[in-house]
Amino acid sequence: MDEVRLKAALADMISPQLAEELVSDFVKLRQDCATGTLERASPGKFVEVFVQVLQFLGHGQYEDKPNVDDYLSKKADHEGSVPEGLRICGARLARAIYALRNKRSIAHKNAIDPNRFDLALAHQGASWIMAELLRNASAISMHEAGALIELIQAPVGTLVEEIDGRRIVHADTSVKGEILILLHSHFPERASQSAILSAMSARSSGSVRNRLGEMRIAKLIHGDSKVGYRLTQSGYQAALAEIRLLIS
């Protein structure tokens, strides 16, 4: 997830500070969903910042501590200068996320745990809101907006954990399979060779490099050691097949 590009794309539209906070909270929510961990406040904080975004778009200023539910249920619809997709659909999605956060105890695990499903729904709602913001951002090209929307809508992997910026694949699989799963977690972005080697430090670096070369020849991946690697469409399908095999 390229936070720098996302923040830059939204900064002119919603202010640099709100862009910083919204993107950071979205990335935390995405990471929670990917790893099955709960950062407690990230869904609620994302919604709170989104309320501030709506206030800023409507009036050029926002409250430091908005009454989130009151605003979303009573005021958002009347923000006539805010694009309809954001003030109607976005506000309703945000209220649903906030209800899950407050009413379904998203921060607490139970014997039969609904939180994973709630978190997945919260993430999908937040992804839609981010995509709608990017669709309305006028300071970036249509091509860049489309690329960023594709990035935030990319599926969240369930077999990869990120710790201190390093991704770890939790799977009993081959070197090739591990590379596929790892690159799937980055898709559609590239992963540098150094990031791949770091993530697979338990493997022989020579074996990893050999598999990368073979996969490039087989057109499962595109790139090289200088620019990094990303999955091709064939590689993406191979990664999905590997993942299905492991979680079936």
* CATH code of residue 219: 1.10.10.10
**Residue 156: is its pLDDT beyond 70?**
no
| pLDDT of amino acid 36 | 53
In angstroms, the CA 164 to CA 93 distance is 31
For residues 38 and 119, the answer to whether their CB atoms sit within 8 Å is yes
Tokens of 126: 């937040």
* 174-222 tens-digit pLDDT: 999 999 989 988 888 899 999 999 999 999 999 999 999 999 999 999 9
Question: Long-range CB contacts (< 8 A, 24+ apart) of 211-215?
Answer: 211/175, 211/176, 211/179, 212/179, 214/176, 215/176, 215/179
Per-residue pLDDT averaged across 35-64, rounded? 81
Domain boundary among 153, 185, 219: 153
Cβ pair 232, 221 in contact under 8 A: yes
Share of residues in the chain with pLDDT > 90 (%) = 40
Residue 170 confidence (pLDDT) above 80: yes
Least confident of 12-16, 75-79, 141-145, 162-166: 162-166
Q: Which helix (H) or strand (E) holds 221?
A: strand 221-224
Helical H runs in the chain?
Answer: 3-14, 16-35, 42-59, 68-70, 84, 91-103, 115-136, 142-153, 175-186, 193-199, 205-217, 233-247
User: Looking at 108, 137, 153, which one is the last position of a domain?
Assistant: 153
Angle at 129 between CA 136 and CA 20, to 5 degrees: 80
Same domain, 185 and 211: yes
Contact 179, 167 (CB under 8 A): no
Verify that 86 and 184 share a domain, yes or no: no
Task: Please work out, in degrees rounded to the nearest 5, the angle formed at the alpha carbon of residue 60 by the alpha carbons of 54 and 64.
Answer: 65
Last residue of a domain, one of 121, 153, 185: 153
Query: Is a pLDDT exceeding 80 seen at residue 165?
Result: no
Q: 110 pLDDT band (50/70/90 cuts)?
A: very low
Tens-digit pLDDT profile for residues 11-38? 989 999 999 999 988 887 876 665 555 5
Residue 168, H or E segment: strand 166-169
Measure the CA–CA gap between 151 and 184, rounded to whole angstroms: 12
Region 120-125: mean pLDDT is 85
Asked whether residue 211 falls in the same domain as residue 178, the answer is yes
Q: Which of 31-45, 85-99, 104-118 has the highest mean pLDDT?
A: 85-99
Whether the per-residue pLDDT at 109 is higher than 60: the answer is: no
Between 179 and 146, the higher pLDDT residue: 179
Q: Is residue 171 domain-shared with residue 202, that is, in the same domain?
A: yes
- Residue 203: give the domain boundaries: 160-247
Q: Is the pLDDT of residue 103 over 80?
A: no
40 vs 72, higher pLDDT: 72
